Structure formats: structure tokens, C-alpha cells
A and B are shown apart, each in its own frame.
Chain A
Amino acid sequence: MALELGQSEFEIERDKNKCISCEVCVRQCSNDVHEYDSDQDTIYSDNIKCVGCHRCESLCPTGALKIKNREAQFQTNYNWTPSHLKNIYKQADSGGVLLTGMGCDKPYTVYWDHILFNASQVTNPSIDPLREPMEIKTFIGRKPDSLEFEINKGSKDTGVKLKTKIPTQLELSTPIMFSAMSYGSISFNTCRSLAAAASEFGTYYNTGEGGLHKDLYQYAKNTIVQVASGRYGVDVDYLNKGSAIEIKIGQGAKPGIGGHLPGEKVTKDISNTRMIPEGTDAISPAPHHDIYSIEDLAQLIYALKEATNWSKPVGVKVSAVHNIAPIASGIVRAGADFVTIDGLRGGTGAAPQTIRDNVGIPIELAIASVDERLREEGIRHKSSIIAAGSIRSSADVIKAIALGADAVYIGTAALIAMGCHLCQKCYTGKCNWGIATQDPYLTKRLNPEIGTRRLLNLLRGWSLEIKEMLGGAGINAVESLKGNREHLRGIGLNDRELAILGIKHAGEAW
């Protein structure tokens, strides 16, 4: 097969004056891009194999390497873009479904970037979070319909006591959690970094559909265990280990379809954790075969509550699709303690490119419409809303909360903190950063000590920024911001978009 119509996406620029032929790039590349020629004492690089992960560039001790995007040399055509051509060439070669990793990278409107946050001036004071207490602690779980108190007027114990029994809540020291990424899709060291960071910071991470490795039991208090359509690794001990249970119906990157962990990634450790034979494909069906309606979902929710003795919140994760508001309403009525909504740009280890890029709706619109609908129906308090799907900064967190989310999940941002360069090749299992791989040569590259430290730094940095922004708006607790859309203004959005987001345009006052 000599005919190769594809073109390289990257150009590797090697500064010959700086390259010392130390071969670090050769050893670090799992795609065999670089090759050392000992006769000529020169390193040659093959552009076509490069995936643009920037590992070699980052480790090159002399800064001799530069990985550049290579402009596709096709005739300019606004209809047949280079990506269409390249994809057709690939499919004409392989005849298969085009796979990709991470979230949708198409230039759809990113609503976060069209929303501005408020600040106080004169009429109400702003607060300096360095001088005054600022509360960003938040609770996930069902809140009671009303509160009843017991007032004691006796001579001995006068006072007021809360009579209402509050359902179990997850206590988050910051409204940020790590989203579901399974052991299998990511390496053990990555899982451990997420778990250790969540545990040290007082927030939660999610096991994804990969079961819970026994070495992570020590972080059980900060674990949300997931029950997905393949039910991998699920037994009663697993359910009881976590602090909460999440039923996964869908994922933002691939709404409506299941998952597939190829057999070569099912190592001994993963087979034990997932409770499947070593080397077998782990296929998660598209639907749960026991859930075909809201009533079926309710059965599973209550079965899980029963299995865990009603001691843990049980939530449901769905991807943001067109009818998300009524779907979420149904989920809340089915008894879910929290609803996780994963938007269009949510990440994945592997998804068909056409689904990732064309199915679902942006998370900003989904949160706004779900929050609105649940309020209208008077059931907003029955469930917490967790927003996921490309939360890129503390500003996105604060906007999500003001639109109506209780907390957010970060997945991609957490991986980026650990070194991910978004090359979108997770599905190849050759992750040079040691994140999305099970190759023992590559998984060593993420030292969990470093991973944990970097995640903690990210959480700390974002939390400080959240406090600053809250203070600037004169709010001293994140709870007061929830669904407080008066603090948001749209910019460059049309009336329809503003109406769905439930916000005014910039310049419009009260």
C-alpha cells in the first residue's frame, strides 16, 4: 500500500545548532517519530507519525525542538475544508468509523465566552476575601421540602433544634469535583492522583465505569462510584465503598452510544477491578438493558439505595441533549439526589468523531434550561445539579453556578493539569504523558506525587479565584450565587440565546 493520500498534521522543526543528539526525544516518543542515525550522528523525524503531544518538545534539554501545526496544502475551499478531505482519505483507506479522543473541538459558540460576571460598586460593598470569611463550601444531595424545628422552652435546655431529617449530603470544600474517568481509560497513576487530590482537598472524584481498585480504598470517603450500562466492577461492596453512587446514562462526548475498552488494555489489574476475564473487550452497551423509561430508572435508583441501606446519595448522569429539561425533570422525579449533565464539549477516551462533534447541546444552555424547568415545577431543591463538559477556568465555574448548577465536574482540565496536551489520541493507548495508556513503559511517566500536587494547586488556584470573584460581587457564600442570573450579562448574543440562558444583555440594568 504505497499510495498515501493523508498529509502530516504537524511539522517538527529541529534546530541543528541546538540539537545535541542526546536521544531524549527518541526515547520519549511512543509513536516512533524520531530516529537516531549513528553513522551521521543525526536524529531524523518523521512528520507523518507525529500526533502533536509535545512530549519531546517539553523534555528536550536544549529547546531544539518545535512542533508546529502544519498548514494543509490543499486548494482553498470554504466548503470542502482540509479536515473533510483528510477524513475522507482516512476512511477510504480504512473503511472504518473515525475515532477520536477528548471533547468536541468544533468552533460552535462557547457561551461561557459570551457571558460577563458582575461586581459591586457604591450601592453595595464588595468584600475582600483575604480579610473576611468567604464560604465556598457546598452540599450535593436532596434538600428537604420544608424545615421543622422543635422549640424547647423548658428550664433546662432552652433552644431550637432541627426536627427535619436531612438526607445524606456530599460536603464539598469547593464546588469542583473530578469527573468520571475509568481505570482502563486512564492509568492507575492518574486515578491515584485524582483520588489523592480529591481526598486532600475535601472534594470528590468519580471512578467512572471501571470499578474501584483496591489500592484506592483508602480514598473511599472521597469517591463517587459509578454504575454504568456494562456494570463493570459493580457489587455490593463497591457500592458501599463510595460516598455516593452515580448511574451513568450518557456522556457528553458520545450521547446515545456506549463504550468499548479494547482487550489489549484489560490487564490483570484492570480485569480484577472490572471483574472480567483478562484480555477480553469490555463493551458497555448504549442503553442500560434494564432501563427503558423513567419508571425503570426509578427502580434502579431505589435498588441502589436499598443496597446501600439508604446511606448514600444516588445520582444520574446524562448527556445534554435537545430535551434535557424534561429528561432532568423525570430523573428528579425518579428519585435522583443529584443530576449530572455533561455538555457537548465533554471529553472522552474514545468516541466516533462524527458523534463527538455533532451530537448534543452546549452545557451552558442545558444548565439554564434545566434549572429553569425544575424551578417552574417546584422540584429544584429535590436534586443538585452538577455541570460537566468543558469547564476551563474558575470563571466558567462561577458562571455555571450563577446559571443554576450546584457544582461542576472537571475532567479535561484535571488531565491538562497533569500534563495532557489535548492531542486527542487517547484511543490509541499510546499516551506519551502516561495518562490515557496501560503500557507499563508509559504509565510510569506520571508520578502520582507530582500529579496530586499539580491537581491540588489547580483546585487551590481556582478556589482562590472563585472567592475573589464572589467578593467582588459582594457575595460571601457560593450558595448565594446559585441560580443568581442577575449577576450575569450576555455579550454578542441574540434575543433567543439570552432568553434560553435567562440573562440580560450587557448594558441592560435592573
Chain B
Amino acid sequence: MQRTGLFIERAGFLQRLNPLTKATGALLLIGATFLLPAPLTGAALLGGGLLPLALASLVARRFLDILLKTLLPVLISLVLVQGLFFPTADPTIVAIGPLLFRRAGLQFALDTGSRLLVVAGAPLLLFQTTHPGMLVQALIQSGMPRSIGYILLVALQLIPAISERAVGVAEAQRARGLETEGNVLQRIRGVLPLISPLIVGALVEAEERAMAIEARAFNAPGPKTWVRAIPDPPAERMARIAMLTALGTLVVWRVATFFSG
């Protein structure tokens, strides 16, 4: 199968689960990082939840690779800014090399940073272990309108297709002597011939695509079927109910402690 978005085709633990189960799990993890008040909750959920799951799904390397490449600059600035300048009454200082960090600031940075990793990591793991087509199919089967599902999937596929067309447009216009490598003025002159075929092409294709999906019975009345079966064993349905109950309980408990505290 072709590389599709973030999805990595492996025969791991999460890949076998129903997309809805995984999505519910991701929702629970994200909720828990904010609802559980204990210090370092994010770190615990990351180390005890997301990382073992990524390992069991055989995607841990790519998972960490993307997560850290995206968030490392944020994490470093978080530690520096909060660690050095956090407004606190606690005078405890931690010295790392020549830098004198405030302990409360470091703790805040660690707490916020690990929460951030969970919030970004849970959906990342979901998309790395779930084919987008299967996710949308599962969502439609559980009640999402088909037209919204269609728009989501088309957007996913058309972005690479449009960028490919952009290459074709640039080639065609450079072959007609359009200078795209010159000074700013030359480049500005070149914008219209480069953008216009892309936009007109996209508009024409939108009509043709509407015709194409009509021709493929998209609007035909009656029940729909699916060529690919998405397994949904009772155990997973139970698990989803349990996870949603847990999330609900957490919310209720948090609201209650807020008002009582």
C-alpha cells in the first residue's frame, strides 16, 4: 500500500484495533493529562501509556522522531524561559552548569511539556496506526455524514495531487521562457502564469469530480455497504464504554473538587 499521510503499515497492537477504540483512547489520554492534577501527570501518561503503546505497535522510532522534531524547540524554550524566569515565592535554585534554574519553574516546564507531548502524541499515534480511510469509514459507520467524510478524504489526497500539478505548471511556463530564477520583479511577473492554471485547473476539476462521484452512485438512495470490514469485537465496544465512563468520571470529579475546594 502507498504511504498515506502519517500512517505506517505494520502488524502491531494498535493496528488491530477498531479506529473508534483508538480515537476514544486518545481522547481519554488527552482528557486525563489536564483533569488529573498530580504533578508530572503528563510524564506518567507518556511513559506509562503512549510509549509502551507505540512500542507494541512497532512504530516507536517514527513516533518519537516526529514528536521530538516537532516539539523539541518548544520544550527547550519552555525549560529555559520558565526555568529561569518563573515568578515564584519558592527560592530553591537548581544549578545546571552555569545556569541557575528556579525549581518551581523547572517543575512547571516539565509538567506543561509532558502534557504537551501527550496532547500531540496521542493523535499522532492514532494516525500512525490507523489508515485515514479506515478512520473515516469507522466514523461514517457510527453516524458521521458521508459528505463530510468525503471532504476529509479528498482533502488528504488532493494536497499531494495539487503540488504535483504545481510542478507541471512551473515546467510548462519555464519552457515558454518564463524566468523564475531572476530578480524580485521578474518573479512577481511570473506569479500569474504560475497560479492561474492551478486555480482554473482546480475549479474545472471540481466540476468534473462532482460529475465523477455522481457517476459512481454517490447520491444513490438506499443503504450503503463497504468493501473493507472493520472488526469491532464486543470487548472493544466494552473498552470504549469503559474509557468514556472513566473520562466522564474524571470530569465530574474535577468539577466537584473545583467547587468544593
Whether A and B are associated in the same complex: the answer reads no
Interface residues of A (CB under 8 A from B): none
